[in-house]
Amino acid sequence: MTEPEFVETGTGPAVHVMRVYDHPIERVWRAVTTPEHLEHWFPTAADFDLRPGGRIRFGDLGDGGSEGEVLAVEPPRRLDFLWGGQRFEFRLVPEGSGTRFTLVHHFDDRAGAASFASGWETCLRALSAVLSDEPPPPPGRAVARHEELVRRFGLDRPLVTRDAAGWHLRFERQLTGPAERAWSRFFGGDAPGVGEPYQRYGTVTEADAAKTFACPGVRLTLGPGTGHGARLVLEADGTGEPELAAAVEQWGGAVARVAREVAASEA
């Protein structure tokens, strides 16, 4: 299996997922552009008006259905379109007696890259079945694969910024389970309440279970993420490089542990 590629450019992040199918390009083109095929491998039913500016009608993903727009189309090799404010590209190239199909997904949510890539891998496995006139396999949640891609893409590393006041550390991690489970794993049980002490950081200033926790210099939030689960954001502030190194080790370890334990509970 060809590994997905995660790229970051001046226009934002994107994932590239490529597969080679042992079918001619015309057959693959039909499978990736016609409603009767799309409904079996794409995330939702879709009906494309295959012309630049053409409307796309997408099925219900809990949003009542939505619309998109065709940006460019060159049968049987290229289709670019917008869906949910994000850009997608289909590229088809003959390869021997088969076809190399590349799906490119452009987005703003960097922390969601592993979810997008593992989701498209699941879709393209279903596309392989569709092309072979076989029933698509059960999709599954690809929890282990998601965590593998988080590490491969470097999404477990923090963002560090500095200003005159010192440094700011931010971990943003897409999880594979609900916020309630992550909250209990983070604190090992119940979190201290407002006005209570927390480790060496002083008095807790916010404590809204499975949502927000804060004390001087540290803030944890849990909120909606991709379809895999909740989004965890941990931020810390301080001064001095030794303190920063210690914070990266401590909080990086805590975030990694929570993600690992949540994933294990979902496996």
Task: Give the CATH number of domain 5-152; options: 3.40.50.720, 3.30.530.20, 3.90.79.10, 2.40.128.280.
Answer: 3.30.530.20
Q: CA distances (Å), 228 to each of 26, 57, 128, 257, 259, in order?
A: 34, 24, 23, 17, 12
Instruction: Give the pLDDT band (50/70/90) at residue 253.
Output: very high
**What mean pLDDT, rounded, does the chain reach?**
95
Q: Domains of the chain: which residue ranges?
A: 5-152, 156-266
Average pLDDT score over residue span 172-176: 98
Instruction: Give the pLDDT band (50/70/90) at residue 227.
Output: confident
For residue 220, the one-letter residue type is L
Average pLDDT score over residue span 64-75: 93
- 156-266 matches 5-152 in CATH topology: yes
CATH entry 3.30.530.20 includes domain 156-266: yes
Report the sign of the C-alpha dihedral through residues 128, 134, 135, 138, in that order. Answer: negative
